[in-house]
Amino acid sequence: MRLQRSYIGLIYFLLLLMGFSQETFSNSLYSKYGIGILRPYAGASYFGQGNIGIAAYSPIALQYLNPASLAYLTRTRFEGSFLFERANVKLNNNTGKFSDSGFNTLHIGIPMADGYALGFGLMPYSIIAHTYEDVVDGEYRSELEGTGGLERAFFRLSGMIGKKFAYGAGFDVYFGRLERTWRVYFDNATYNKTEDVTSTTAVGMSGHVGFLIELHQKLHIAGMINAPASLNTKTQTDYVFRTENDITEGEIKLPLTQGYGLNFKPNSRFTLLADFEASNWGSLAASEILGAKTTDTKRYGVGIEFVPSRKFNESVWKKMSYRLGFNMGNLPYLVAGEKVNEKFVNAGLTLPYNAFNSQMEIGLEYGKRGDANQIGSEENIIRFIFGIASGEKWFVRPERRRKD
């Protein structure tokens, strides 16, 4: 009965997320560039700890940055999360508000025999969601609207060499639709409304690898590499006054990304994480990234977790995990010839239940993207993550049968 209730709860939660995913509004002014705003995501358990965790590992929590972490799972895990984001925008002398809500990720990890584990899932890679309006009194009103983005489906396999070296590898499938619409409404009735719609579909594959090493019982280091990717594209442009449309084929390039992390556990209550990640977006030509001018990106982050107790009979407040973190970096696009920097602070907590087998995750992130004085625009952003994770024991033979 417990197994059946777990699956019913999981299915209900995924359906709930799919329902939320239909309510998507504007996300960021900067998503009008290239393939949109990238979505770095470490996992629901690590979002409040700086949204980092290349060297993070757990027997019950999943993370997305390093496939080697799967080797530490002790039971099959299911995880899904919901995201809400709000941005207050400044553009020259104008202000506005963007918001976005919906499904964020789905991840499943399955430990196998002899220290191996596999995982698969789906998560956003980039998001285009913006609306910009320009009004000239007595002449016209123009709108630029963008929707869509790229998704990433992944499959990965991990294993252990001895008890101190974990490794993992997998492949990624990128796919999505990126659409931009330009409309002009004229005040003079002599002129008709115009509308151009440019829609690009993209699909491609790549791979990733990672490792995690125990240098000391209290200290682990890790690294990961996401290989470059080439996505085949088909772009169609439709014009309101023409019956025909323009169709072209091309490519979108994604660069090499490498990252390194540190995990320090001075005792059973505290965990400290630190990450560094870099991608050579600046090596891409504008024609390889939908006309955007690019720059290399770097991302740094630190975070701390505090768990008062792991005892079943303790109060709920002592069994919860409390997290704080900070991360900073820059977007892969140049605006007015300058980099767009972003800085965020994070906080989160975990509420375990079902004898620590399941948990609810809550994470908050607040920060700033851009600089109105330097590039003429900026956004103050708040994000909320809600996740649920649960699991069951699969592929584990009873002790009696092992002896037979």
Name every residue whose Cβ is closer than 8 Å to that of residue 340 and which is 6 or more positions away in sequence: 30, 330, 331, 333, 334, 369, 370, 375
pLDDT of residue 396: 53
Phi, psi of 256 (to 5 degrees): -70, 135
Residue found by looking up tokens 């491609």 in the block: 204
Give the domain 2-403 fold. Porin (2.40.160)
Mean pLDDT computed over every residue of the chain: 86
CA 388 to chain CA mean position, Å: 16
pLDDT tens for 185-226 read 777 777 777 888 889 999 999 999 999 999 999 999 999 999
- Each domain of the chain, given as residue ranges in start order, spans 2-403
Q: Report the 10 Å Cβ neighbour count for 149.
A: 23
Is there a contact between 152 and 126 (Cβ–Cβ < 8 Å)? no
The identity of residue 144, as a single letter, is L
pLDDT of residue 243: 66
Ramachandran quadrant class, 114 (left: phi over 0; alpha: psi -120 to 50; beta: rest): left
CA 298 to chain CA mean position, Å: 16
pLDDT of residue 319: 82
Using pLDDT thresholds of 50, 70 and 90, give the confidence band for residue 47: very high
User: For 53-57, 261-265, 371-375, which range has the lowest pLDDT when averaged over its residues?
Assistant: 371-375
Tell me the C-alpha distance between 39 and 88, whole Å. Answer: 19
**pTM, two decimal places:** 0.86
pLDDT > 60? residue 398:
no
Mean pLDDT for 38-44 is 90
Mean pLDDT for 54-74 is 92
Using pLDDT thresholds of 50, 70 and 90, give the confidence band for residue 242: low
Token pair recorded at residue 376:
């003429």
